[in-house]
Structure 1
Amino acid sequence: MNAEQLDRIRKGKGFIAALDQSGGSTPKALLQYGVAENSYSNEDEMYALVHEMRTRIIKSPAFDSRHILGAILFENTMDRAIDGQWTADYLWERKGIVPFLKVDKGLADPEDGVQLLKPIPDLDDLLKRAVGRNIFGTKMRSVIKEANPAGIRKVVEQQFAIGKQIIAKGLVPIIEPEVDIYSADKAASEKLLKAAIVEQLSALGDDEKIMLKLSIPTEDNFYSDLMADPHVVRVVALSGGYSQAEANEKLARHHGLIASFSRALSQGLAAGQTDEEFDAMLSQSVRDIYEASIR
Structure 2
Amino acid sequence: MNNKQFEKMKNGNGFIAALDQSGGSTPKALAAYGVPEDSYSGEDEMFDLVHQMRTRIITSPSFDADHILGAILFEQTMDREIEGQYTADYLASKGVVPFLKVDKGLAEKENGVQLMKPIDDLDETLRRANERNIFGTKMRSVIHEPNPSGIKEVVQQQFDIGKRIIASDLVPIIEPEVDIHSSDKEKCEELLQDEILKHLNELSDSENVMLKLTIPTQPNAYKELVDHPRVVRVVALSGGYSREEANEKLKENDGVIASFSRALAADLNANQSDEEFDAELKKAVDSIYDASVNKK
| Structure-2-length-normalised TM-score | 0.99
Instruction: Determine the C-alpha separation between the residues in 2 that align with 1:141 and 1:10.
Output: 21
User: In 2, distance between residues paired with 1:207 and 1:19?
Assistant: 29
**Quick one: which amino acid aligns to residue 9 of structure 1?**
M
2:74 maps to 74
Q: Shift in Å at residue 261 of structure 1? A: 0.1
The separation in 1 between residues aligned to 2:286 and 2:83, in whole angstroms, is 26
Which residue is equivalent to 1:106? Answer: 105
Q: CA deviation at 1:72?
A: 0.1
d(CA) in 2 for partners of 1:68, 1:39: 32
1:7-64 CA distance string (max 9 Å, x none):
0000000000000000000000000000000111110100000000000000000000
1:169 aligns with 2:206: no
**Which residues in structure 2 correspond to 1:235-254 (within 5 Å)?**
235-254=234-253
Residue 10 (structure 1) aligns with: 10
Amino acid at match of 1:292: A
Q: Which amino acid aligns with 1:130?
A: A
Unaligned runs of 5+ in 1: none
Q: 2:195 is matched with which residue?
A: 196
Which one-letter code corresponds to 1:293 in the other structure?
S
1:257 aligns with 2:267: no
Q: Tell me, what secondary structure is at the counterpart of 2:212?
A: strand
Matched residues, percent identical? 67
**How many residues were matched structurally?**
294
How far apart are 1:228 and its partner, in Å?
A: 1.1
**Map of 1:182 onto structure 2:** 181
What do you get for the CA RMSD once the two structures are aligned?
0.4
Q: Distance in 2 between matches of 1:31 and 1:82?
A: 23
* TM-fit CA distance, 1:97: 0.1
**Letter in structure 1 aligned against 2:128:** R
Note the alpha carbon deviations across 1:233-283, whole angstroms, 9 max, x for none.
000000000011110011111111100000000011000000000000000
Amino acid at match of 1:110: K
> 1:177 aligns to what SS in structure 2?
strand
The answer to whether the aligner puts 1:121 opposite 2:120 as a matched pair is yes
1:48 match? 48
Equivalent residue number for residue 85 of structure 2: 85
The SS at the match of 1:70 is strand
Q: Measure how far apart 1:206 and its partner are.
A: 1.0
Secondary structure at the aligned position of 2:156 is classed as: helix
For 1:72-109, what per-residue CA distance to the aligned partner results, in whole angstroms no more than 9, with x for missing partners?
A: 0000000000010000000001x100000000000000
> One-letter code of the match for 2:155?
V
Residue in structure 2 matched with residue 270 of structure 1 by the alignment: 269
Map 1:21-60 onto structure 2 (within 5 A): 21-60=21-60
- Structure 2: any 5+ residue segments left out of the alignment? none
**Structure 1 residue ranges, 4+ long, deviating more than 4 angstroms after superposition:** none
1: CA distance, partners of 2:106 / 2:72: 18
Partner residue in 2 for 1:213:
212
1:64 aligned residue: 64
Q: AA paired with 2:126?
A: L
Aligned to 2:138: 139
Q: Which amino acid aligns with 2:53?
A: M
Which amino acid is the alignment partner of residue 165 of structure 2?
A: I
| Residue aligned with 1:166, SS | helix
Tell me by how many angstroms 1:225 deviates.
Answer: 1.0
TM-score, normalised relative to structure 1: 0.99
Q: Distance in 2 between the 1:188 and 1:174 partners?
A: 23
